[in-house]
């Protein structure tokens, strides 16, 4: 009876910061740093800097998964922790950052709170849905993967100087709402980061975007 009642020794848990030196997690945190830069420059109205931060956040987001799949010796706990970290960073990178961008470009007028909330809410719903159900039976996402939000917004801002601010404000608001609707739609989209060709395309896109907006910052 005493043996049955005796509690088993508590399993030793790793330290929280031990996961900060895991290479995939380091990539995730680097992406978070880029997102913080994007939010910072959005608030300041320096949108070229914000675009560089947003595109690099995507690049690091893709990199953490690629590195994790190629590393040996990672445990199930390592993978689970990395997955949780990735989701939490995604809500900031692809929900909060675009919402702040929209608010800033709209000069923080109350009407832009609606669009910002829609982007943030749909990002949260999209990520929660994926965390629950994963990929569909044909290995595709249900709804537009939210990393596409940043890639599209970075592209749209290439044309910001070609029209008036009033016109581009409408364009930006519309694009944000369309992206939000696609995030929670039932469309099926492929997992782009799983294709090596797409990784090279993203690398070229990131380099080109960085060069273009970096030149504008000079």
Grouping H, G, I as helix, E, B as strand and the rest as coil, residue 7 is coil
Each residue's pLDDT tens digit, 2-27: 554 444 445 578 899 989 988 999 99
| First-last CA distance in the chain | 77
Instruction: Tell me the domains of the chain and their CATH numbers.
Output: 21-217 (1.20.120)
Q: What is the pTM of this model?
A: 0.90
Q: pLDDT tens track of the chain, all 218 residues? A: 455 444 444 557 889 998 998 899 999 999 999 999 999 999 999 999 999 999 999 999 999 888 888 888 788 888 899 889 999 999 999 999 999 999 999 999 999 999 999 999 999 999 999 999 988 878 889 999 999 999 999 999 999 999 999 999 999 999 999 999 999 999 999 888 777 899 999 999 999 999 999 999 99
Each residue's pLDDT tens digit, 137-166: 788 899 999 999 999 999 999 999 999 999
Of 190, 183, 178, 107, give the one whose Cα is nearest residue 141.
Answer: 190
Tell me, rounded to whole angstroms, the distance of Cα 211 from its chain centroid.
21
Q: Residue 141 pairs with which residues in a beta bridge?
A: 189
**DSSP label of 25:** H
Of 43, 28, 170, 55, give the one whose Cα is nearest residue 99.
Answer: 43
In this predicted structure, what is the pLDDT of residue 9?
Answer: 46
143: left (phi over 0), alpha (psi -120 to 50) or beta: left
Tell me how far apart the alpha carbons of residues 71 and 73 are, in angstroms, rounded to a whole number. Answer: 7
In this predicted structure, what is the pLDDT of residue 10?
Answer: 54
């Amino acid at each position: 009876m005493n043996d049955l009642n005796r509690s088993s020794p508590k399993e030793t848990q790793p330290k929280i910061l031990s996961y900060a030196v895991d290479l995939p997690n380091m990539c995730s945190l680097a992406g978070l740093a880029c997102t913080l830069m994007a939010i910072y420059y959005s608030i300041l109205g320096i949108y070229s800097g914000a675009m560089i931060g947003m595109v690099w956040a995507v690049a690091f987001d893709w990199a953490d998964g690629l590195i994790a799949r190629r590393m040996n010796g990672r445990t199930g706990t390592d993978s689970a922790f990395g997955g949780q970290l990735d989701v939490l960073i995604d809500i900031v990178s692809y929900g909060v950052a675009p919402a702040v961008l929209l608010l800033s470009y709209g000069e923080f007028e109350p009407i832009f709170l609606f669009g910002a909330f829609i982007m943030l809410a749909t990002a949260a719903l999209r990520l929660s849905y994926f965390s629950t159900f994963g990929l569909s039976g044909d290995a595709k996402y249900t709804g537009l993967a939210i990393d596409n939000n940043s890639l599209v917004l970075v592209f749209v801002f290439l044309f910001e100087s070609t029209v008036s601010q009033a016109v581009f404000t409408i364009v930006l608001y519309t694009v944000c709402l369309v992206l939000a609707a696609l995030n929670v739609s039932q469309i099926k989209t492929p997992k782009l980061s799983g294709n090596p060709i797409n990784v090279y395309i993203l690398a070229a896109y990131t380099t080109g975007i960085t060069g273009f907006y970096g030149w504008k910052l000079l």
